[in-house]
Every structure is written in C-alpha cells, then in structure tokens.
C-alpha cells in the first residue's frame, strides 16, 4: 500500500530529529531554517505485539512486519503560500502525502532559536494552517474562475456539482476553516479528489517536549494544543524527539528497560506510528506458517479478494475462498487446531469485508 504521512512544522521544532528517530536515518538536523530542502522519505515498521505472539506460536524462518512511508518536509514559514522560504516547493511536497503529522514545539531551549522569537504553539499551528489554507484557496479560486461561467450557462449536473462544491470550499477557506473540518457528501468528495487539497488531509499534532515533560506526559503548552485539536477532532501525541532519537539507537530489549525505568509503557514514537497508521485508514491482516509470518496492510473496507491481491495479483484474479480466523481467537485458544475444534475457523467468500487482525489463507485457481 503506497501511502505516505508527511511531517510538517515551522523550522527548528524538531521535525528532522523526529524523522531521524522514525527511520533511523542520519539526515541533516541543523539549528537554522531550511536545513531540509528536498523531502526525505523513509519506510517505518508498524509496532504490533500480535507479530510477537505469532512468532512464538509458529517459530517462522521469517517474520515480516507491515510498514508505510514517512516524508520529512522542509520547515514552512509565514508567507510560504506566496513563495517565502521556498514555500511553493514545500507545499507541493505536502500535496503528495495522504496524512499530515504536524510537529509543534512545546519546549523551552535558549540554545535552539525559534523562527518567531518565542514559544507559542497555537500561534505556530495557525501560521501553518493559514499558509495551507491560502494554498488551497488559490487552487479553488483558479478553478472557479475557469468553469464558473460555464456552470451558469449549462444544465450539466457534473459541472454544477463541481462549482457548488468548490464554492462551498471557498467559503470555508475564506473563513479560515480547514476543509477536513467541513462535512462533505460522497459526490462532493469525489469532485475534490482531483485537486489533492492539503487542508482536506487528516492531521495529527506531535507536540515536541523536553525529556522531563515526556515522562509526565504533558506541560502547559501541550494542554493548549490538546484543547485546539479537540475542537477539530484531531489527535495529539506528546513526545520528546531528542529522547526518541536516542531510543532509536538501542536494541529492543535495552529500549524496554530504559522506558520501564522512566515508567513509560510505550514510547512516543510507537504511539505516533500507530496513530498515523490508523489516521491513514489502514488495518492489518496476517499470513502465518513455519516459513513466514507476515503482517499485510490494507485499507479499512476492503473485501477479501482485494486483500488477496495485495499478496499477489493472481490471488485476486483466481480467488475462490479465504480461510479466516481472528487473532483474538488464536491468542485465546493457543493453536490453530484448537481454533478449528472450537468451530471458529471460517470460510469467507468474495463479499467478506476483511477485519483488522484476521489471519488468512487464500484459496485461488488461475
């Protein structure tokens, strides 16, 4: 599944440090704006305890987690929508992602300059929101200018739908409202799909805090961000990018010991990856055996043949049935044999909607 999440934020908020931790890549993380000009893309494995359980059951030769892409996009500044700070180039990179992780600086450090002079997370969020709104507004108004008159002169339902949808967007954007906060019917969303609008993309706020505040899980700045995010139904992850970068250098056992000593169950990075995976509308099914246990990514709402096609196109073309058991049943009953004996191994057909945690064997004939 070629889906990407883009990391955005003002310069010097910790984006590149976070990206280093996510992908364990040593990209340039400098104390000045525009240290990152071309977007850095890295593939991240999704933490999933279910793989550990399956690994203990099957002892496979290979254990393969599921993954998706994170893109680190250079720091936006005020005026980006009109080209400030290479803004147009950066905005084009944001259009290419499917969801946005906005890093918000919520820590004090005199050694790290703030592009706006002082720490104010809501101001920072609004700076970026305004630039993204202006970028979308330009696209919307340009399109209305091209087809607006045609809509007035025609009875073509498709043209009328497009113009009405665009005007609905224009009104919201002019009122400084991101399009993700507006309700659209299915037909309107189909129209907007062609424009790849930035403010329509779902968003998570990653509040970058000090190491001490990462342990407590909040500070006064993060509380402000949480209130802001709740108004638009977005999620907030509190984390320390510096700590996460250091944790990424440890092996899994050492990482668990370190977190346990701090009284932290899951690292901020693990929480962010899981939350972003969900934000992208992704879920996981598994294939399991002694040769390989593997997690596969699928979009929520996909049917069994489509999921079979993720493994191989022939599986979808010749799909017959899917043998399915749920991970929860397998974990509870401890073996495939016990699942079968309990009558919980199912044969599902072409209309079956795949569920997160399904363990599948696909029957096909080409």
Contact call for residues 80 and 91 (beta carbons, < 8 A): yes
E strand or H helix that includes residue 72: strand 67-72
Residues with Cβ < 8 Å from 109, sequence gap 6 or more? 210
Dihedral angle at the C-alpha atoms of 332, 338, 340, 344, nearest 10 degrees? -20
pLDDT tens digit sequence for 8-40: 988 889 888 888 888 775 444 444 433 444 558
If phi > 0 it is left, if psi is from -120 to 50 it is alpha, else beta; for residue 112 that is: beta
18-32, 169-183, 187-201, 264-278 — which is least confidently predicted?
18-32
pLDDT tens digit sequence for 104-118: 999 988 888 777 778
pLDDT tens digit sequence for 1-16: 567 899 998 888 988 8
Residues with Cβ < 8 Å from 246, sequence gap 6 or more? none
Q: What is the DSSP letter of 128?
A: H
Contact call for residues 208 and 106 (beta carbons, < 8 A): yes
pLDDT tens digit sequence for 322-366: 999 999 999 999 999 999 999 999 999 999 999 999 999 999 998
Report the distance separating Cα 134 and Cα 129, nearest Å.
9
Report the distance separating Cα 79 and Cα 90, nearest Å.
12
């Amino acid at each position: 599944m070629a889906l990407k999440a883009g990391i955005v934020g003002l310069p010097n908020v910790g984006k590149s440090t976070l990206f280093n931790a996510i992908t364990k890549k040593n990209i340039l993380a400098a104390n000045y704006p525009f240290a990152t000009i071309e977007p850095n893309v890295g593939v991240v494995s999704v933490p999933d305890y279910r793989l550990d359980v399956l690994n203990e059951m099957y002892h496979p030769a290979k254990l393969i987690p599921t993954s998706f892409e994170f893109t680190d996009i250079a720091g936006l500044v005020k005026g980006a929508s009109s080209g400030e700070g290479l803004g147009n180039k950066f905005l084009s990179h944001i259009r290419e992602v499917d969801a946005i992780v906005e890093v918000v600086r919520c820590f004090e450090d005199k050694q790290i300059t703030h592009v706006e002079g002082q720490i104010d997370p809501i101001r920072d969020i609004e700076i970026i929101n305004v630039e993204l709104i202006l970028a979308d507004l330009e696209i919307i108004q340009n399109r209305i200018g091209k087809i607006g008159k045609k809509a007035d002169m025609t009875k073509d339902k498709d043209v009328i739908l497009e113009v009405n949808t665009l005007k609905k967007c224009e009104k919201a954007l002019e009122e400084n409202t991101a399009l993700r906060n507006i309700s659209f019917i299915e037909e309107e969303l189909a129209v907007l799909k062609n424009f790849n609008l930035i403010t329509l993309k779902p968003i998570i706020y990653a509040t970058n805090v000090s190491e001490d505040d990462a342990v407590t899980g909040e500070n006064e700045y993060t509380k402000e961000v949480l209130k802001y995010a709740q108004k638009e139904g977005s999620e907030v992850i509190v984390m320390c990018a510096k700590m996460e970068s250091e944790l990424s250098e440890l092996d899994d056992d050492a990482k668990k010991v370190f977190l346990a000593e701090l009284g932290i169950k899951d690292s901020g990075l693990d929480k962010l990856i899981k939350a972003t995976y969900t934000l992208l509308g992704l879920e996981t099914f598994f294939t399991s055996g002694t040769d390989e246990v593997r997690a596969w990514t699928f979009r929520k709402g996909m049917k069994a043949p489509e999921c079979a096609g993720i493994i191989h196109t022939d599986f979808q073309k010749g799909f017959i049935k899917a043998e399915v058991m749920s991970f929860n049943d397998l974990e509870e009953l401890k073996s495939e044999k016990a699942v079968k004996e309990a009558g919980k191994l199912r044969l599902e057909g072409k209309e079956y909607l795949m569920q997160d945690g399904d363990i599948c064997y696909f029957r096909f004939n080409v």
